[in-house]
């Protein structure tokens, strides 16, 4: 099977799962955000492009790997990244814990560093395709930090009124 089809399908699955785990509701709209936050409509296209580049990177690295051990390394690097990529949205949006998401984004960022370092000896071009993703997550981490700073503390009783049972 063509590695680009497999990595592309994985990227699409990650996009769909991430989208489903990202309820944009009143809670999110009511958060204080820095003035430099991009508009909400930009996040979907940005993640689509970034995960498309990651899928392309994975296919190139898989093909360029010299042996089964190299292909296993590629799969592990991308699987770890996919896990940490997915975990951020439910923490931030579904659980309403930007503070926990801020801790988790460190692991997502680290998985991207591991991809850059691990892919470079296999294919410099595959590693280069990860750079925009790395830069966006770096920006997103700073944005996450700013939202935490502007809205903390989290984890207390939900700030939105609840109907009594």
Rounded percentage of the chain residues whose pLDDT exceeds 70: 94
Kindly report the pTM of this predicted structure.
0.89
Architecture of the domain delimited by 3-151: Up-down Bundle (1.20)
Domain map (residue ranges) of the chain? 3-151
Does residue 157 register a pLDDT over 90?
Answer: no
| DSSP H helix total and E strand total for the chain | 6, 0
Residue-wise pLDDT for 65-115, tens only, equals 999 999 999 999 999 999 999 999 999 999 999 999 999 999 999 999 999
Q: Report residue 1 CA to chain centroid gap.
A: 26
- What is the per-residue pLDDT for 21? 85
- What is the per-residue pLDDT for 163? 44
- Yes or no: say if 109 and 141 are a contact pair by the CB < 8 Å rule: yes
Does residue 29 register a pLDDT over 60?
Answer: yes
- Whole-number Cα distances in Å, 122 to 30, 108, 111: 45, 21, 17
Question: Rounded mean pLDDT of the chain?
Answer: 92
Inter-axis angle of helices 3-20 and 43-64, to 10 degrees?
150
Of 147, 139, 164, 149, the residue nearest 30 (C-alpha): 147
């Amino acid at each position: 099977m063509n590695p680009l089809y497999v990595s592309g399908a994985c990227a699409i699955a990650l996009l769909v799962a991430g989208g489903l785990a990202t309820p944009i509701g009143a809670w999110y709209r009511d958060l204080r955000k820095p003035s430099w936050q991009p508009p909400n409509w930009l996040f979907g296209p940005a993640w689509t492009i970034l995960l498309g580049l990651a899928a392309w990177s994975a296919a190139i690295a898989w093909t360029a790997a010299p042996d089964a051990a190299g292909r296993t390394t590629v799969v592990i690097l991308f699987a770890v990244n996919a896990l940490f990529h997915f975990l951020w949205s439910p923490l931030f949006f579904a659980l309403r814990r930007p503070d926990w998401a801020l801790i988790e984004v460190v692991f997502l960022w680290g998985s991207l560093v591991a991809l850059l370092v691990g892919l470079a000896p296999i294919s410099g071009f595959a590693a280069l395709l990860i750079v925009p993703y790395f830069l966006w997550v770096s920006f997103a981490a700073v944005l996450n930090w700013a939202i935490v700073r502007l809205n903390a503390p989290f984890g207390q009783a939900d700030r939105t009124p609840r109907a009594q049972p």
